[in-house]
Each structure stands twice: as C-alpha cells, then as structure tokens.
Amino acid sequence: MIGRWTRGVLVAIGLWAGPAPAIAQDDLDVAPGTMSLQVTTDPSPIACRKLDTVNPRSLMFRSLRRTFNDDFDEHPLATGRWVPHYAGGAAWPEARYWGGDGSDLKRKTSANGEQQIYVDPRYAGRAATPLGLDPFKISDGVLSIVASRTPPELMPVLFNNEYISGILTTQGTFAQKHGYFEIRAKVPVGHAVWPAFWMLADDGGWPPEVDVLEGRGERPGDIAMTTHWRIPSTQKIHSCGFDFAVGDASTAFHNYGVLWDEDRLVYFIDRRPVSDIKVPIGFDDPMYMIVNLAIGSKFFPGVSQVNADTPSSVAFEIDRISVYQIDMEQAQR
C-alpha cells in the first residue's frame, strides 16, 4: 500500500488471477477465543505459490489463541486501540507521510498518487480549530470508513485534496510477531477506489510490508494479497503476490487473513489457504495493522486517478478485525 512502486525495483513473481476456493460462510462471522487453521508444511521450490492443489500429507493444523479483537460496537477512536493517521518512525526517514502541501500531519501517502486526505474529528488542516470531519460511521456492529468528495469551501483548508477519507492504525497500541491477522469486510468498488488492510514493522521501517487485502476498485471481485521485502545487499524491493476472484466481495462479508508462521506466510480467504510464501529476509520485528480507504493511484493496477466517474461517496464496511497468536504447545499434527 505504501509507495513501493517508486522505491527500488519491484520483482513481481506472480500476480495471477484465479478463483478462490469454495466459500463456506458458517461460523465465519465470529472471532472465537481459540481456533485452528489448516496450513501447508511441505517445502516450496519457489518464493511463493498459489495453493490450487495441496498434497494432503503436507497439511497440519495450527492452534491459535485470540490476542486482539474489535467488533466495532462503538466508534473506533473511543477505544484507544486505533490512531487515525500514520505514526511514522525513525527507522525510515520518509515515514513522515506528508499530508500535502505545507502539512506534515501524516495524512496520506503522496508517492502513490493518492488524492484523498485522511481526516478525523480533531483534524484542523490549515484551520485554527478542528473541522469536525468524521469518516468513521458505526451501525449495527459494522464500521464504515467513508470517502467523499472534499466540500469546495474546504479545499484550501485541506491542501486541495480531492477527497476526504479515513485510516486507522495500531502503531503504538498493538503489534505482534507471528500469528494470524484477519479482517471481515465488504470490499468497495468504483473508479479510483482503493481499500486495504495491511501490516508494517512496528519500528517504522519499510519494507517489510504484508498486504492482507487490497481491492482494485475498477475490477469488482478482484482481491490482491501480496508480500514485500528488501534485499540488504542490493537494497532492491521485491514483491510477490496473487489476485483472487471473490465474485460477491463488494456485497457480502468475507474473511481475509494471513498466518505469519516462523517459516512462511500463508494467506487465507474465508479461513481456507489460497497462497503461501517462505518468510523473506527482514521480517524480524512485530508488525502493526492498518486499515484504510484511499482514493486514486498512479501505480496500482485497477485503481486510476480521480475523474467524473469516481463515486462522490463510497464506504469500506468492516465487521471486525481480529488477531491470534500461535499456540505451539497445542499444535495438532
């Protein structure tokens, strides 16, 4: 999700489209205190792969215990779990996330060509007092991050960004090394619409980056799941991931997750493994979560720049976000 397309060299090992496994919705709407996920254990000769077919003898279960859960029964900023902007960090100087001309308030990732600014009720932009803009709506236990066109009278105050939207991160409030990270959401569509659920290192460095879910707003039902890392000897950025077809992703809630095990990352749709990758170099620190709705991109296929076809308002609906730690003593073989 960060402006990776302009930093270093991207090695795309396999951005292939393909159907996700058959969807089973039973019991997926809850985040149990403990659960098990089926994962692969056989060595892979390539950096990452789609799990179209799996050798049954290579499967095992990972037992998990819940460490974080938000069902969004109240406003996300009322709990203290979430921060409505990037926090940045000392390890990567560019992690200041300039909010626009004259703003150093960590409110967008300009390198991506994003055309929104992330706001919250306390954000003032260029004004002397908070503007009271709230992109976070709660209804029946569902959080909606709403992106909408910037009111014309606020354009100068908001650094001439075309849209206002919202971001939530857990940097400084929750981070974890290894475990299972999951979002249950509807993925919005539309011209220039770019929803995401992703993870960064808690020390503020980049990469590593894990994109658990990215929606290509101009390609309904197309879900991208990608890993990014850096090769220390060359400083080049490498990426590997796949696209999956989830036909009703914009109208029905589905679970999108990643299991960060000691030796591999396994991506899941509705708790069924769909791809995996050997953990790349640099995944040493705990990671925190980010969920956001960006508008506009210069480099992410399926997300273009804002034009007349971009919806005036669009919502990223999130039922819950949950995290589990691996219980190695209870792992079932």
Give me the active site residues, please.
Answer: 209, 214
Tell me how far the alpha carbon of residue 146 is from its chain's centroid. 16
User: 195 to each of 49, 213, 261, 295, 299, how far by Cα in Å?
Assistant: 24, 8, 25, 8, 15
User: 157 to each of 102, 104, 127, 162, 168, how far by Cα in Å?
Assistant: 11, 14, 6, 12, 22
User: 226 to each of 198, 238, 244, 308, how far by Cα in Å?
Assistant: 9, 11, 11, 30
- Furthest-apart CA atoms within the chain: distance in Å: 64
Compute the CA torsion angle 199, 204, 205, 208 (nearest 10 deg).
-10
Rounded CA-CA distance 206/96 in Å is 12
Rounded CA-CA distance 47/264 in Å is 10
Residue in the block written with tokens 């496994």? 21
